[in-house]
């Protein structure tokens, strides 16, 4: 069966792309469209053509899984098809529902008009794959929207809703009945005459002041740190304003080729598939259907509980926010309202959206009214006895089918589940702060959590716009377990003579939003001291906890809010502080540690290699299912730069042997028990293998 169906309706040929799941422009689709167009042009009974998507969407772009295969370069290539569209003597209308993304929108931009339903979205998201739109998108989009809109839309890769897209000139008409409306539109063009192809509409790209581009580059320099694609996108959009169409196209082709060959493109495409793969759980077959979740209760109205409640409300799910402390509940609701008001004042939501979302959050003061919830998420502070008490109450108050989730970041899921009569329905649902913003949802399976419970939480995570990752039950789960190696190592390096500025500069140049020491200062250190005191008791005998945080707190330097920590602060400006350095040096002397200088390269290795080593240990222990799941967790929960593909992908790119070497050094320095090499890593390096081989090695036994 062809990937494109041909039918004639009212003297209009309707080409329906039927290539699930997203009608990507694979060779089969391109061939089908070229054949369909040729047939329509040859058919004297046809006056115009409509291209429409079968199933849930128009064309979601190039077929990413085809990149690098012979099919991607085989004719008809997308650009050949586009030339045929633009040369067509019969008008072509792109009929858009679902999404028209990347090459899908670029193809639509070569049609004579674009008609959409109001729920459709269009966009050029290639930047998220480390690419730029390589089929004329950078040249045609600004011809419709003007340069400034195109710069913003293409460098962010944002999806534009159809209503906005119509206002911006990308969509020509919005209709209710897509097929009938598009056929009628096409016939009208056949009768009245079609407009000039987009490529020939030059008014919005003529006489553009080059300063627009320089200003845009300057404004975004910091945001794009470390990424190649956004800056190249600005270059090619600029070329669309000062070169002929064909010259600009040649330049776009060249830049696209460069990006296609880049490591960042490989990393970002790895990440794209990783996020989708993470939702597939090997022992939860597709036949296990997730339960519908229509109403949720969140217990605890603090920062975390409020953020979780907003995540549901934003996705259209009704939520009760429960707190037995009336004052806390009031404060929690006020904080939620304030967050929405900030979004409103920034223009990111409308008043109607704010009212609707707030209206979905019902504050409640007790457990009497939970008979209608499908899921509960407990988000109170980390105290096992309290959590068990709450789970016992929830077990009684919620219907038997309801899933009971805990937002704990470290406590044992099984112990929490033991307070209920339904341990199969208990699961960790670990959100990251601020929960309404951060994308990671770490689902944590206990020993009795059922497949249905897991399937439900993974599906729910996607539904509320999160990136769900399934973790096993251990201290710190996937993410926090690795985090300590990063933060503690920064302190070890300070003791040995590196400065806070140097460490943070290296981390930030790598792409972290904020270096580990600036982060400590921002988070505040007073509370960290208590957490560390507990952790210290559980450390293996061969390991020493650095005590710089303790020394800072003793000196009254508890972080940014107090005006000083590892840095001193003037307003928000962080400044190097000789006093902090003196405290660090004194502590190094007290510990008998000799100080030395570090190269940036060594700092980078010591900050990030241990993450990869610990990730490998999580794979060994079955805490993480796949290396790529760890990447998804770290990109979304900890701001690991997405253009590296995540720590595990990055580790493999730079060489697992290098990671192993660092683990050997740090094992010797900091204690073998926790810092020494992972057995899996040793085996992979010894056998010249990579993460894809890990499951087989683990199954054999390390
Ligand atoms: N190519 C190949 N497979 C794709 C794909 C694409 N462009 N887009 C989605 N898929 C696959 C996914 O891998 C997933 O497969 P599995 O079910 O096997 O995991 C399936 O389609 C469904 O995808 P989602 O789970 O993401 O479904 P969704 O409904 O949540 O989202 C979507 C749909 C918005 C289209 C989203 O998939 C998406 O954003 N896709 C990428 C779009 C994109 O980046 N297009 C540009 C491609 S590059 C390009 O076009 C270059 C050029 O200039 C020629």
Per-residue pLDDT, 201: 96
- The CA-CA-CA angle for residues 101, 104, 105, to 5°, reads 70
Bridge partners of residue 17, in order along the sequence = 4, 53
- The CA-CA-CA angle for residues 666, 668, 670, to 5°, reads 60
8 exposure class (CB count in 10 Å sphere: 0-12, 13-18, 19+): middle
Question: How far apart (Å, rounded) are the C-alpha atoms in residues 681 and 660?
Answer: 7
Ligand 1 atom 45: the closest Cα is on which residue? 61
Mapping DSSP to helix (H, G, I), strand (E, B) and coil, where does residue 515 land?
coil
Ligand 1 centre to CA of 22 (Å) is 6
Helices 600-621 and 679-686, packing angle to 10 deg? 110
Q: What is the pLDDT of the chain when averaged over all its residues?
A: 96
* 498 backbone dihedrals φ, ψ, rounded to 5°: -75, 155
433-445 pLDDT, tens digit each: 999 999 999 999 9
Has 491 been annotated as catalytic?
Answer: no
Residue 410 has pLDDT above 90, yes or no: no
Question: How far apart (Å, rounded) are the C-alpha atoms in residues 617 and 620?
Answer: 5
Mapping DSSP onto H, E and C, the string for 615-679 reads HHHHHHHCCECCHHHHHHHHHHHHCCCHHHCCHHHHHHHHCHHHHHHHHHHHHHHHCHHHHCCCH
Per-residue pLDDT, 530: 86
Name residues whose C-beta falls within 8 Å of residue 178's C-beta, 6 or more positions apart in sequence. Answer: 52, 95, 96, 97, 115, 116, 117
70-82 pLDDT, tens digit each: 999 999 999 999 9
- The pLDDT-based confidence of 528 (bands split at 50, 70, 90) is confident
Ligand 1 atom 10: the closest Cα is on which residue? 22
Tell which atom from ligand 1 comes closest to the C-alpha of 276.
19
131-189 pLDDT, tens digit each: 999 999 999 999 999 999 999 999 999 999 999 999 999 999 999 999 999 999 999 99
Question: How far apart (Å, rounded) are the C-alpha atoms in residues 596 and 678?
Answer: 28
Name residues whose C-beta falls within 8 Å of residue 428's C-beta, 6 or more positions apart in sequence. Answer: 405, 406, 407, 408, 413, 442, 443, 444, 445, 446, 471, 473, 477
Cis? peptide before 21, omega within 30° of 0: yes
421 exposure class (CB count in 10 Å sphere: 0-12, 13-18, 19+): exposed
Determine if ligand 1 sits within 6 Å of the CB of residue 126. Answer: yes
> Which pTM does this prediction carry?
0.93
Choose the catalytic residue: 9, 35, 75, 106: 106
Mapping DSSP to helix (H, G, I), strand (E, B) and coil, where does residue 573 land?
strand
Ligand 1 centre to CA of 563 (Å) is 47
Structure tokens at 496: 């040995």
Q: What order of strands is seen across the sheet that includes strand 113-116?
A: 4-9, 12-17, 48-53, 92-96, 113-116, 173-174
Per-residue pLDDT, 612: 98
Instruction: State how far the alpha carbon of 400 is from the alpha carbons of 55, 204, 419, 420, in Å.
Output: 36, 61, 15, 11
- The pLDDT-based confidence of 120 (bands split at 50, 70, 90) is very high
**Range 636-657 average pLDDT:** 97
Cis? peptide before 231, omega within 30° of 0: no
Q: Which residue has the higher pLDDT, 528 or 627?
A: 627
Residue 560 has pLDDT above 80, yes or no: yes
Ligand 1 centre to CA of 239 (Å) is 29
Spell out the domains of the chain, with CATH numbers in brackets.
Answer: 4-259 (3.90.226.10), 295-474 (3.40.50.720), 480-598 (1.10.1040.50), 601-700 (1.10.1040.10)
Cis? peptide before 434, omega within 30° of 0: yes
Determine if ligand 1 sits within 6 Å of the CB of residue 134. Answer: yes
Per-residue pLDDT, 413: 97
Ligand 1 atom 9: the closest Cα is on which residue? 22
- The pLDDT-based confidence of 531 (bands split at 50, 70, 90) is confident
CB 83 within 8 A of CB 23: no
Has 106 been annotated as catalytic?
Answer: yes
Ligand 1 centre to CA of 111 (Å) is 22
- The pLDDT-based confidence of 222 (bands split at 50, 70, 90) is confident
Residue 85 has pLDDT above 80, yes or no: yes
- The pLDDT-based confidence of 348 (bands split at 50, 70, 90) is confident
89-103 pLDDT, tens digit each: 999 999 999 999 999
Bridge partners of residue 321, in order along the sequence = 298, 363
Which of 64, 72, 269, 277 for mutating ligand 1's site (highest number of atoms within 8 Å of CB)?
A: 64
Residue 1 has pLDDT above 80, yes or no: no
Ligand 1 atom 22: the closest Cα is on which residue? 21
Name residues whose C-beta falls within 8 Å of residue 602's C-beta, 6 or more positions apart in sequence. Answer: none
Question: How far apart (Å, rounded) are the C-alpha atoms in residues 685 and 678?
Answer: 11
Per-residue pLDDT, 535: 84
Instruction: State how far the alpha carbon of 239 is from the alpha carbons of 125, 199, 248, 259, 697, in Å.
Output: 20, 14, 5, 17, 51
Ligand 1 atom 36: the closest Cα is on which residue? 60
- The pLDDT-based confidence of 68 (bands split at 50, 70, 90) is confident
For tokens 């400590």, what's the residue? 520
Chain centre to alpha carbon of residue 591: 42
* 380 backbone dihedrals φ, ψ, rounded to 5°: -100, 180
663-702 pLDDT, tens digit each: 999 999 999 999 999 999 999 999 999 999 999 999 999 8
CB 627 within 8 A of CB 617: no
Which of 3, 59, 61 for mutating ligand 1's site (highest number of atoms within 8 Å of CB)?
A: 61
Ligand 1 centre to CA of 258 (Å) is 22
Phi-psi region of 104 (alpha: psi -120 to 50; beta: other; left: phi over 0): alpha
- DSSP sequence for 23-50: --B-HHHHHHHHHHHHHHHH-TT--EEE
Ligand 1 atom 29: the closest Cα is on which residue? 22
Ligand 1 centre to CA of 99 (Å) is 10
- The pLDDT-based confidence of 571 (bands split at 50, 70, 90) is confident
- The CA-CA-CA angle for residues 450, 452, 456, to 5°, reads 120
- The pLDDT-based confidence of 273 (bands split at 50, 70, 90) is very high
Tell which atom from ligand 1 comes closest to the C-alpha of 56.
29
- The pLDDT-based confidence of 562 (bands split at 50, 70, 90) is very high
364-398 pLDDT, tens digit each: 999 999 999 999 999 999 999 999 999 999 999 99
Determine if ligand 1 sits within 6 Å of the CB of residue 99. Answer: yes
Choose the catalytic residue: 9, 11, 126, 570: 126
Percent of the chain predicted with pLDDT > 70: 100
Ligand 1 centre to CA of 453 (Å) is 26
Gyration radius from the chain CA atoms: 28
């Amino acid at each position: 069966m062809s990937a494109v169906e041909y039918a004639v309706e009212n003297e209009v040929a309707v080409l329906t792309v039927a290539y699930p799941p997203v009608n990507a422009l694979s060779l089969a689709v391109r061939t089908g469209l070229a054949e369909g167009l040729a047939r329509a042009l040859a058919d004297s009974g046809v006056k115009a053509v409509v291209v429409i998507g079968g199933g849930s969407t128009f064309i979601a772009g190039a077929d990413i899984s085809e990149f690098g295969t012979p099919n991607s370069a085989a004719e008809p290539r997308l650009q050949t098809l586009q030339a045929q569209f633009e040369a067509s003597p019969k008008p072509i209308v792109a009929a858009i529902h679902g999404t028209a993304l990347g090459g899908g929108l670029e193809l639509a931009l070569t049609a004579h008009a674009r008609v959409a339903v109001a729920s459709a979205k269009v966009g050029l998201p290639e930047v998220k794959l480390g690419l730029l739109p390589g089929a004329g998108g950078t040249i045609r989009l600004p011809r419709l929207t003007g340069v400034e809109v195109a710069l913003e839309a293409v460098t962010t890769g944002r999806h534009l809703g159809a209503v906005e897209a119509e206002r911006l000139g990308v969509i020509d008409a919005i209709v209710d009945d897509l097929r009938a409306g598009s056929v009628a539109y096409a016939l009208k063009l056949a009768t009245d005459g079609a407009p000039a192809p987009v490529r020939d509409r030059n008014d919005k790209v003529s006489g553009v002041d080059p300063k627009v581009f320089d200003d845009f580059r300057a404004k975004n320099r910091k945001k794009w740190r470390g990424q190649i694609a956004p800056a190249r996108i600005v270059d090619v959009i600029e070329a669309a304003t000062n070169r002929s169409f064909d010259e600009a196209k040649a330049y776009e082709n060249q830049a696209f080729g460069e990006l296609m060959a880049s490591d960042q493109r490989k990393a970002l495409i790895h990440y794209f598939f990783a996020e989708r793969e993470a939702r597939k759980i090997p022992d939860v077959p597709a036949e296990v259907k997730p339960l519908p979740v229509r109403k949720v209760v969140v217990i605890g109205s603090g920062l975390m509980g409020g953020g979780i409640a907003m995540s549901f409300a934003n996705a259209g799910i009704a939520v009760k926010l429960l707190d037995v402390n009336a004052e806390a509940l009031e404060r929690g609701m006020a904080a939620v309202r304030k967050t929405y008001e900030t979004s409103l004042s920034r223009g990111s939501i409308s008043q109607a959206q704010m009212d609707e979302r707030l209206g979905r959050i019902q504050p409640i003061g007790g457990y009497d009214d939970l008979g209608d919830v499908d899921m509960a998420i407990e988000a109170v502070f980390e105290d096992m006895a309290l959590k068990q008490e709450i789970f016992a109450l929830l077990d009684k108050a919620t219907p038997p089918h309801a899933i009971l989730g805990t937002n704990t970041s470290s406590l044992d899921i099984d112990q929490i589940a033991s307070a209920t009569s339904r341990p199969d329905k208990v699961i960790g649902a670990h959100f990251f702060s601020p929960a309404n913003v951060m994308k990671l949802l770490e689902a944590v399976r206990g020993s009795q959590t059922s497949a249905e419970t897991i399937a439900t939480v993974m599906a729910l995570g996607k539904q509320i716009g999160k990136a769900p990752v399934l973790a096993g039950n251990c201290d710190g789960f996937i993410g926090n377990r690795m985090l300590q190696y990063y933060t503690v190592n920064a302190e070890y390096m300070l003791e040995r003579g590196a400065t806070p500025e140097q460490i943070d500069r290296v981390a930030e140049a790598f792409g972290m939003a904020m270096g580990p020491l600036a982060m400590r200062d921002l988070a505040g250190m007073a509370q960290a001291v208590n957490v560390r005191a507990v952790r210290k008791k559980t450390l293996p005998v061969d390991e020493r906890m650095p005590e710089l945080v303790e020394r800072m707190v003793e000196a009254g330097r508890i972080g940014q809010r107090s005006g000083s920590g590892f840095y001193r602060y003037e307003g928000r400006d962080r400044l190097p502080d000789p006093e902090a350095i003196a405290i660090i040096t004194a502590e190094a002397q007290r510990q008998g540690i000799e100080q030395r200088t570090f190269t940036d390269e060594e700092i980078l290795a010591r900050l990030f290699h241990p993450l990869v080593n610990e990730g490998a240990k999580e794979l060994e222990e079955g805490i993480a299912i796949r290396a790529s799941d760890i990447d998804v967790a770290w990109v979304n929960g900890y701001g690991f730069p997405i253009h590296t593909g995540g720590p595990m992908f990055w580790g493999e790119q730079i060489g697992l042997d290098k990671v192993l070497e660092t683990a050997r050094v740090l094992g010797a320095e900091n204690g073998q028990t926790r810092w020494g090499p992972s057995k899996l890593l040793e085996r992979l390096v010894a056998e010249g293998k990579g993460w894809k081989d890990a499951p087989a090695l683990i199954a054999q036994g390390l």
